[in-house]
A and B are shown apart, each in its own frame.
Chain A
C-alpha cells in the first residue's frame, strides 16, 4: 500500500515538473516570436513571466539580454548576460554579448583585482558549487571510515594505517568546512548591476548622509546582505574600486 502511494506521488511530482517545463518552453517559443517581430517590450514581458514560473535557462537569460539591448537598457542587458554566463550552453554567446554591452557604457568603473583566496572561493562557488565540494569532503571521510572498518574486521591492515586514516579524515573535514564557507559567502554576498542612469552611494543609511561616490549604469557592485539587514530599505555595497557605502534599495539588479 505504502509502496503504491510512493510511486503515485513520484509520478505526480514528475508530471508537474515536466508540465512546468513544457509551459515554460511554450511561453519561450511565443516570446521568441515576439522578439523576431521586434516587439521587444512584449517579448521582455513574456520572458519575465517564464522566470516567475521558477524554471530558467541560459537561453532565456541570453534572449532577455538581447531584448534589453534592443530596448537600449544596457544595465539590464548586462545583468541578464551575466546570468546567462553561468550556463554552459550560453556561456560563449553571453561573453561576446557582455563585451559589446560593456563597450556601450559612457562611464566605466575601475575594478580592483580580487585576492587569490577570493578568486578561489568564486571559482568553487560558480564552478562545482558548495554541494559538490561537500560531497568530495564526505568521500574522503567515507574512505577513512571504510579503512577503519576493514581493519576492525581484520580484513585489511598495513603499518601506516593510523596516519593514512587521520590524514584522510582531516582532509575530508577541511573540505567540508570549505564547502560551508563557500555557502556562507554565497549567502552573504551577491554581485549586482546598476540599471539606472545614476545612484548615490552614501556614507551611512541616511538620505542626509555624506555622498561617498556616484554609481552609474552598468557598474558591477557587491551587496553585503548581512550588513544590509540592519537597515530597512538600504543596501550596503562595495563598488568596483573598493569603496564601501549605502544605497537605497532600487535601481540595481542582484544576480
Chain B
C-alpha cells in the first residue's frame, strides 16, 4: 500500500521552500548607481558605476545608457568587474559595470534613473545630481600655491551649549597627484575644556572627491571624536598632529630608490575656536548635569527590609548625550535611614556618531529603626539641545517598610549591657544661652570700679592734706563760705551801721583770703587794686563802690534799709563772681 498523502505533503513543503527561497533571493538583490565624482570640470572624464549585488544572480540585462545632458558617453570603454564575498556566512556576488563619460558644457545636471533587469525582475537606480564646472574659473596661481596635502579639524557645531556633543572630524585633504599609503595620529591630543571620547573609526578611511578653490582634492575622514564642553566661553581646540606616508604619482622615480619614492610628512591642524554658550537658568528642579536626551528612573529594592539590613535606591539614567558628566542626584533621606558608600556605574556606547549609554547611581541605605519611611519625590532635569530647553522628570516618592528581625532582637538583648535609665521626673533647667565673658557689661564695670575708687580717694586725700598743710589754700577754699556767713549777719539788721559793717567785713575778708593778704591794715584802695589784678576792673570797681559806701554810711543822709538790702544782694553776687574768677 502506497501512502500518497505523505508524498503530497513532502512535495508541498519543497515547493513552499523553493518559493520562499526565490522570494528571499529577490529581496537580497540590490542595484546601485554612482558617479566617481559629482563636481568636475568640463572636459574631465567621469565614470558611472552600476553595481548589482546579491546571493544568487542568474542573469543581468545591462541597462541602456540614455543621452544625458552635460555628459557624453564613451561607448567603447565600458568595463566589467566581479567580486565574491561572504556575508553572515553566506556567499554573495557583485557585478560592477563601469561606463566612461566626458563632461560637456558647464552647468548643474541630473543623471536619470537606470532600469536594470536581474533574474527577470526590473530594478531602478536613483537619479544622481552632478555639476560640471568651467575650467576658466580656475585661478592657476592659486591652484599652484595650494598645498598638495593638509589636515583639518572640522567640528560639526560652532556654538554648542555646555555639555552638548560636538563631533570633531580629523579630515585629510590631498591632491590627485598624491598617493597616501598610511597615516598615524600622534598620541596625546588634548582638548582642553572638553571631555572627549573617540568614536568608532574605520580601519581604512574612505575617500571622497571635492573641489576647494577650484582645486580637486581627495577628502578622507581619518578620525572622529565626540567632544563635550565642560565650561562656557571661547574654547580653543589645540592642533591635531598626523604623520602620513605619501608618494607623488607623477614624480620621476630614481631607478635606485628602493623606498619607492615614499615620503614621511608631519601634518597638523590649525587651532579651532568654539564658542560655548552657557546653559539657561533652571527653576524648581535639580539639574542632573545631563545634556542630550535621557530617560531617568528611580527604584528601591527591597521595599521591605529588616532593621540593619541594606536597601538599595537605584537611579538609572539612559540615553544619548554626556553620560559620563552626569552627577549623582542628592535625595533627602529620612534621618533614620543611614546612607553608606554611594556607588556609580556607567556604560558608554559610540554608535552612529553619537555617544550614549547608561549611568546607574546606587545609594545603599540601612534602616536604624523600624517603621515606614518615605523618600520624598524628586525632580531631576536634563537639558535637551534639540528642544533648546530643560526637560524635567519627576521621580515619584519611594516607601520603605522596615521591621525588626526577631532573631536579631533576641541576640541584641543578650549582648546589650546598657543599664542607664532615663530621668523621667522633674529636671533642673538652665538657660542654654552663653554670653562670652568679654561681652558681659558687668565685667567691664567691675574692671573700672577699683580705678574709679582709687582715683576718687586719691583726690580726696590730696585735698585733705593740702587743706591741713597749705594755709593760703585753706583760706582760699573757705573764703566764700566765711564771706557768705558774714553777709548772713547783715541780713535782717535794722541798724544800718552794723549792717554795712558786716558787708564790709565779708568783702574785705573774702578778698584777703582769696589773695592771701593780711587780714588787717589794708585800705579799700589797696584791696581794690589787688583785686583788679585778678578779676578785672568791673568787679574791682563795684567792690570799691560798696566798700566806700560801707565806710561813709554814717554820714549818708539818704541811707535806708531797702538800700542796704540791695547792697547785700549785690555783695552776694560779687562774692560768687570773685570766688569764680580768683
Contact = CB atoms under 8 A, between A and B. Distances in A.
A62 B368 contact: no
A59 B424 CA distance: 8
A36 B436 CA distance: 38
A152 B458 contact: yes
Nearest to A20: B429
Interface string A63-96: 1001001111100000000000001011001001
Contacts of B431: 54-56
B423 A197 contact: no
A36 B369 contact: no
Nearest to A69: B418
A57 B430 contact: yes
B446 to A, nearest CB: 5
Contacts of B339: 197
Contact of A35 (B420, B422, B427, B430): B422
Q: Which of B429, B440, B457 has the most CB of A within 10 A?
A: B429
B428 A97 contact: no
A175 interface: no
A63 B429 contact: no
Interface stretch (B94-102, B224-232, B447-455): B447-455
Interface residues of B, number: 40
Dominant secondary structure of chain A at its interface with chain B: helix
Contacts of A138: 446-447
A242 interface: no
Contacts of B458: 152
B438 interface: yes
B427 A149 contact: no
A62 B371 contact: no
Interface residues of A, number: 55
Contacts of B454: 145, 148-149
Contacts of A56: 429-432
Interface string B345-368: 000000000000000000000001
B422 A62 contact: yes
A41 to B, nearest CB: 6
B427 A66 contact: no
B260 interface: no
B330 to A, nearest CB: 12
A183 interface: yes
Interface string A143-181: 001001100100000000000000000000000100110
B411 interface: no
B436 A186 contact: yes
A187 B192 CA distance: 46
B450 A63 contact: no
Given A71-B336, A197-B340, A25 B429 contact: yes
Interface in A114-161: 130-131, 134, 138, 141-142, 145, 148-149, 152
A59 B423 contact: yes
A219 to B, nearest CB: 16
Given A55-B432, A93-B420, A142 B443 contact: no
A21 interface: yes
B417 interface: yes
A180 to B, nearest CB: 7
Interface string B448-492: 001001100110010000000000000000000000000000000
Given A142-B450, A145-B454, 5 more contacts: A41-B336, A54-B432, A63-B423, A66-B422, A93-B420
Interface of A: 20-21, 24-25, 28-29, 32, 35-36, 40-41, 51, 54-60, 62-63, 66, 69-73, 87, 89-90, 93, 96-97, 100, 130-131, 134, 138, 141-142, 145, 148-149, 152, 176, 179-180, 182-184, 186-187, 196-198
10 contacts: A24-B429, A54-B432, A58-B428, A62-B420, A66-B420, A72-B308, A90-B423, A142-B450, A145-B450, A180-B437
